[in-house]
Structure formats: C-alpha cells, structure tokens
Structure 1
Amino acid sequence: MANQSSRYPILCASFNQDNSGFAISTKDGFKIIDSNTGRLCYDRAVGAFIIVEMLYSSSLLAIVGAGEQPSLSPRRLCLFNTTTGAPLREMTFLTSILAVRLNRKRLVVVLQEKTYIYDSNSLSMLDTIDTVPNLKGLCAFSPSLEGCFLALPASTAKGAVLVYNVMELQLHCEIDAHRSPLAAIALSSNGKYIATASEQGTIIRVHLVSEATKSYSFRRGTCPSTIFSLSFAPSLQLPDILVATSSSGSVHIFSLGFETNQRTKMSGSFLGSILPYSVNDALDPAHHHVLHNAVSAGVRSYAVVRKVDKVADSSSSEIASCRSVLGCVLASELYLFIYFCVPFYLPYLYVRLPCPLPPFFYLLTSARS
C-alpha cells in the first residue's frame, strides 16, 4: 500500500458541518463521500485543489485550486454547484487562501495576515480582521447561527486565541490557553466550547466560550507530538466527546461529561483532596480512551464523531455515562477511511475489514470481547 498510496496523495480532506459527509482532493480532482455509507456522492476530475469545503449536504462547495494549472490559482475562491457542474461565483485575493469556512449565513476566508467575513447569500463583505501571521491557516468555526464563533491565533509566541462573533461582527474574547504557539483549534458545533492544543502536543485544554474560562485539561501523553486535528461530537446532550489525532498515529477520545461526573468522586478521595481540579484533569485517565496505531505514525489524519450513545444509571433516571462513540478518521497520504466504535468502560476488540469504497479505503469495526 505504501508504494500505491504515493500515486494518490491527498491534498486536502475535510468533513462538512454535521460530519455526515467529507471531501477528498488529489492531484486529479476531488470526491464527495457519504460518511454513513461510504457512498461516492460526487466526483470531478478537473485538477488539483487544496481546499474543498462543503455546506452541509447541499450542492454548494467552496473550492480553491492548488496552483498546478493557471486556471486553478490558490488566490482564487470558487463557489461551485455540484448539481449543474458550474461555478456560481469567483473571488480573487492578493495572497493565497489558507482556509475557508461557511454556514448558511456567513462565509469566512482566511489569508496569512487577514481574515474576511462575507454574507453567504449576497457575498457582500461584512468585516475584515487583521491577524498575526497565520502561516498554517489555523482557524475554527462553529456553524450554529445561535453561537456562531470564529477562532484564530492571537499570538505567534504563545497559545493565545482570538474568538470573534461572526453574526454580531465583534470580538467576543481572547483566551490565553498555552505557553507554546497553537497547533490546533476546534469549536463545538453549538459554539459552547473551544478546544486547543499547542505545538508541544501533550495537553489539550477546553474553555467555555461564553465566559472564556478553562473547563477541562486533558493529557494526551507525556512525549511531545504534533496534534493534527481536534473535533467535538454533536453537543445536543451530555456527555460531550472530544477526539484528537496526532503524529503518533493514535486517536484519542475524551469524554467531557464523564469527566464532570468523576470530579465529585475524585474530590472525596485522598488524592483528590490534595490536588487541584486542574491537576486532576490531567492525571485522571478514566475519561481518556486511545485507539492505538489507527493510522501510520507521522501521517496527517483527521477524526470526527458521528454518533454518541448513552446508557442510563440503573440507580437513577438520569443519563450517567457514554456507552459508545461512533466516528471516522481520514488519513491524508492515502485513501484511508476508518470507522471506529468505542464501548466505554467495557472490553473491546478491533477488527479490520475491507470495504467497497474507492481505492485504499478500509473499515474498522469493533466488537465486544
């Protein structure tokens, strides 16, 4: 697979706003695939693209070329209709486009030192944000119209985050999350939480956006590692789930709701009585599950959660814990599609099975031992 994967390098991989579909681009074109079934929804072989962003499961795409052809400039954003196969609108910028985010009301275009906010319907410019040099195009976006926030790096020397309300077009807050520069940012879909990781990659912190206060501190590991992606599960009800991928090749799954329940138990223990909550969060492994070697070490990967099942405590009518997490992982250097299911607090066994998807897609399922 290593030799064949080099023939199909993935230039970009992105999930849509509700994780129901994802886009993959190679040097030959891009594909849209259903996350639930693995069905190929759209395929266009027109050249290389570095950005392919979906608007939920609609026919609208925001695409940016990789520059390998004169007509596919990395400075040109094209809003594309997959139904008609024709561009709806093109916008050209002075420098390369590093990231694009959108929902039904707003379109965000991230450049190295500027970020533009547009109305998604009229495409009129609403605001311009001057930023620190953002060479990686780091940004996070919560698509919910009620809590529609945009997060951008606020410093190149430390892990500070600027949180901007794109509906009200004003700065919401600035959060000092890490001592080292940022490597990854994620906002929950409802805009309630923001997760950050620094270039050190050992600690992942989660802040409550409304109050700009730290809520959780999760230890990914003790050795430095590059965090490739952070993603929250759908936050319609507790517990909230956060997943992370890193250069170690493992997928890390953190349960925010379960961790909250454990604080009460921890505070009653001897260790909990002498350690502050911030230390407890980093030390307690009960809410942290790892899928080891999910992807080859060093391969850039992206993980999302599609579904979270809950179980009720037999002694109470309230939901007590998370039973399983169903999600998928994309690896950027080969067509690798992994489905994972983690039965929390139960033994589990992972089995690789072939799946009838485009070349080099694989399905990872789990079964209780």
Structure 2
Amino acid sequence: MANQPSPSAILCAAFNQDNSCFAIGTRDGFRIFDSNTGRLLYERAIGAFIVVEMLFSTSLLAIVGAGEQPSLSPRRLCLFNTKTGAALRELNFLTSILAVRMNKKRLVVVLLEKTYIYDINSLQILDTIDTVPNLKGLCAFSPSLDGSFLAFPASITKGSVLVYNVMELQSHCEIDAHRSPLAAMVLSSNGMYIATASEQGTIIRVHLVSDATKSYSFRRGTYPSNIFSLSFSPSTELPDILLASSSSGSVHVFSLGFALNHRSRRSNTFLGSIVPDSVTDVLDSAYHHVLHHAVPAGVKSNAVVRKIERVPDTSMAECAVLRATISVLTNGGYFLEYGSTINRQNESSWTLEREFNLLTVQGEQAASSNVGN
C-alpha cells in the first residue's frame, strides 16, 4: 500500500446492513461493490457525494451531494433507483445532512441538531427529535424490525447515549457510557447490544440495551487514539467478537465470548465477589487481539466483521477455533480483507486474504441489473 492514494480520495464509505455490499462516494460520483467477490456492481459519475447509503442489496440508495456542484446540495436527500438510474424522491432540509440510515420500514436523517424519522414507503414524517449539537453526525442503527433502535449522543460534554425505538417512536433509555464525549458507537444487528468509544479512545464499553446497565469494558490501549469504527460480529444472541479500527492504523478484536466465560468463572471466587466486573475487565488484556499496521496510520477506515464460523481444531480433540472474516474500507481508496483466527487457548493469528484499489477496479461491467432484487 506504499502507493496509496490521498486520504481524501474517498468522501464516504459504508457497508450495507448485512455487510454483503458496500458503497463509496468520491468527488466524481459513487460506486457499489460486492463484498464477497470485490466485483464492481454499479457506478455513477455525476459529481461529489458525502452520503451513499444502501438498503440491504436492493436497488434503493439514499445519496447526498457534497455541494461541489450546484445540483448536489448537502441539504438535499435523494432516494435513487440503481435499476432505472433515476431519482425516486427528494427531501430538502434547512441544514446539511450529516448521516442517513435505513431499514425496510424506516428512514432516518441526521442533521446537526435534529433527527428526522420517516416511514420509508410513504416518506411520511413520523417524528422529529431535537438533539444536542452532533457535528460528526454520530449515530448507530440496528436494522432489525424486532429491535430497531437508533442511538445518538445525549451530551456534548460526556459520553452519554440516547437510545430511541424507531418502530414505537419513543425514547428507550439513556446510557452514561464514558466521561469524555463520544467518538464511535455501534448497535448489534438485532439491537440487543451497543458498543461505544469516547474521544479518548482507550476504553471500549458494551451495554445491554434492554436495561442499559450490564456492561463489558475492554482496554484498547494506554495512549489516546481516535476510534474510527466499531463492529459486532453477526449473531442472534451475544456476538462472539467486537471489532474496532483506530487512527493508529491498527485493527482490534475483543473476544466477548471468552470474557463471558471468564466472568462466570470469576464470580465464584473471592476477588470476583468484591471487585466490579467493569473494573476487572478493563484491567484484563487477555481478550484483546491486535493487528498492527492493518492500514496506514491516520487514514480513516471502516472495519466490519463480515463472517464468523467455528471450525474444529485438529490439534485438540473436541475443541473449536473461531475464524472471522474482517473487511476494511479506507478513505485512502483501498479494500482489504483479513482472516483472523482465535483458538481455544485465546491465541490469535492473522492473514491478509485480499486487497484492491477501489478507484481503479473495473466491473464486468458495472450494470444496474447486478444490484437489486
């Protein structure tokens, strides 16, 4: 990656809700790729975009211009059909759009001090939420209709999170996660867990959304670092691992499953009965695995756990190995895919399995029929 393009080569990069595809926005247009094959599925060169949000693998996109062309205002949201190449609807706002999230029932639009909830089929506005100033458009969204939660900062001075139920259209809870303002957050796909990091970036915390109190705490490092992204592994219950990418260029894997087993064992000890779980988990680095120099330091990255599986450990009878497929998008213009393996002794290994330039790859060719159902 020595000849990597400028860190500003990509204006936005995001995976879809199940990580099967991803989209990037550049100063020239936007592109959609298949995560499994790396194939370019669709491209449109019509100007600069700062938001390109997919609805799973359908033909519906929510796109927002960067304002570099008069027709692509950052205050205008366009719902775009990749099959027809035409705009379906446009929504205009008084201030710039900072983030957009979707599931099959709801459309969420995040502005500096307001968040709008729409019915995605009728585009009827269902609720308007006044928020604290949210300069980064920081939010987390669980696309499941059974536990469809939206989370965003509740304070500008500390790391408090407001969790809102977008189906019931009401506030669910507020979580005091950190002493410093928030820098990153993610909800598990089923909405059961939320992970957060503050601007200090030294501690990653996981809370159970239902009661907002049960948490895991993991130490990322001693020195402050900007956390660019957080991602849970796919799971219907407790995710096996939590992933974080940081400005140091490292990718961090935290083993939730191992921590849960250790917590159960420790609760029967004298030390476990007097020392809070959150304190002892923070001090224990046994569940933290790091891939150093995964991407160039300082380049913004978005890392997700695309797949996870348990495979037999041939070296030990009746033991299984946890194997994760980790995909990383960088704003420098690269896609990288790593394989991470954690054995029963909690030892990890990493391999780089794929890498390509997002700006130079060619499709076979980029036809709209390749995207959408």
Whether these two folds match at TM > 0.5 is yes
Match of 2:179 in 1: 179
Counterpart residue type for residue 174 of structure 2? E
Change (3 A) 1:264 1:60: same
Measured in 1, the distance between the counterparts of 2:177 and 2:22 equals: 29
2:83 aligns to what SS in structure 1?
coil
Match of 1:365 in 2: none
**RMSD across aligned C-alpha pairs, in angstroms?**
2.3
Measured in 2, the distance between the counterparts of 1:108 and 1:23 equals: 18
1:194 and 2:194 equivalent?
A: yes
2:341 to 315, 340, 343: 343
Residues 314-361 of structure 1 show CA distances to partners (whole Å, capped at 9, x for unaligned) of 888xxx8661111201111x2211111111034635357665865389
Change (3 A) 1:221 1:354: closer
Change (3 A) 1:213 1:84: same
Residue range with higher mean Cα deviation, 182-191 or 347-356? 347-356
1:285 Cα deviation (Å)?
2.0
Residues 1-369 of structure 1: pairs in structure 2 closer than 5 A: 5-6=5-6, 9-267=9-267, 272=272, 275-311=275-311, 323-332=322-331, 334-345=332-343, 346=347, 348=349, 350-351=351-352, 355=356, 358-359=359-360
Percent of aligned pairs with the same amino acid = 70
8 A Cα contact 1:147 1:192, kept in partner: yes
Change (3 A) 1:353 1:87: closer
Counterpart residue type for residue 85 of structure 2? G
8 A Cα contact 2:66 2:74, kept in partner: yes
Residues 224-251 of structure 1 show CA distances to partners (whole Å, capped at 9, x for unaligned) of 0011111111122554321111111100
Residues 174-227 of structure 1 show CA distances to partners (whole Å, capped at 9, x for unaligned) of 111111011111111100001111101000111100111132001110100011
Match of 1:367 in 2: none
Residues 117-165 of structure 1 show CA distances to partners (whole Å, capped at 9, x for unaligned) of 0000000000000000111100000000000000010000100011000
Counterpart residue type for residue 328 of structure 1? S
1:276 Cα deviation (Å)?
2.8
Measured in 2, the distance between the counterparts of 1:184 and 1:347 equals: 25
Measured in 2, the distance between the counterparts of 1:8 and 1:185 equals: 23
8 A Cα contact 1:335 1:359, kept in partner: no
Change (3 A) 1:248 1:344: same
Counterpart residue type for residue 280 of structure 1? T
Match of 1:364 in 2: none
Change (3 A) 1:63 1:252: same
8 A Cα contact 2:146 2:190, kept in partner: yes
Measured in 1, the distance between the counterparts of 2:361 and 2:292 equals: 20
1:105 Cα deviation (Å)?
0.1
8 A Cα contact 1:239 1:321, kept in partner: no
2:322 aligns to what SS in structure 1?
strand
Measured in 1, the distance between the counterparts of 2:29 and 2:183 equals: 28
Residue range with higher mean Cα deviation, 335-344 or 120-129? 335-344
Counterpart residue type for residue 325 of structure 2? L
Structure 2 residues not aligned, in runs of 5+: 363-373
Measured in 1, the distance between the counterparts of 2:311 and 2:238 equals: 11
8 A Cα contact 1:336 1:360, kept in partner: no
Change (3 A) 1:238 1:308: farther
Counterpart residue type for residue 258 of structure 1? F
Counterpart residue type for residue 359 of structure 1? T
Measured in 1, the distance between the counterparts of 2:150 and 2:11 equals: 24
User: For this pair of structures, how many residues does the alignment match?
Assistant: 357
8 A Cα contact 1:185 1:196, kept in partner: yes
1:299 aligns to what SS in structure 2?
coil
Structure 1 residues not aligned, in runs of 5+: 362-369
Counterpart residue type for residue 334 of structure 2? L
8 A Cα contact 1:257 1:321, kept in partner: no
Change (3 A) 1:222 1:270: farther
8 A Cα contact 2:339 2:350, kept in partner: no
Measured in 1, the distance between the counterparts of 2:128 and 2:321 equals: 41
Measured in 1, the distance between the counterparts of 2:89 and 2:250 equals: 40
8 A Cα contact 2:29 2:47, kept in partner: yes
Measured in 2, the distance between the counterparts of 1:224 and 1:90 equals: 41
8 A Cα contact 2:251 2:292, kept in partner: yes
Measured in 2, the distance between the counterparts of 1:6 and 1:315 equals: 49
Counterpart residue type for residue 323 of structure 1? L
Change (3 A) 1:243 1:99: same
1:5 aligns to what SS in structure 2?
coil
Measured in 2, the distance between the counterparts of 1:8 and 1:223 equals: 26
1:259 aligns to what SS in structure 2?
helix
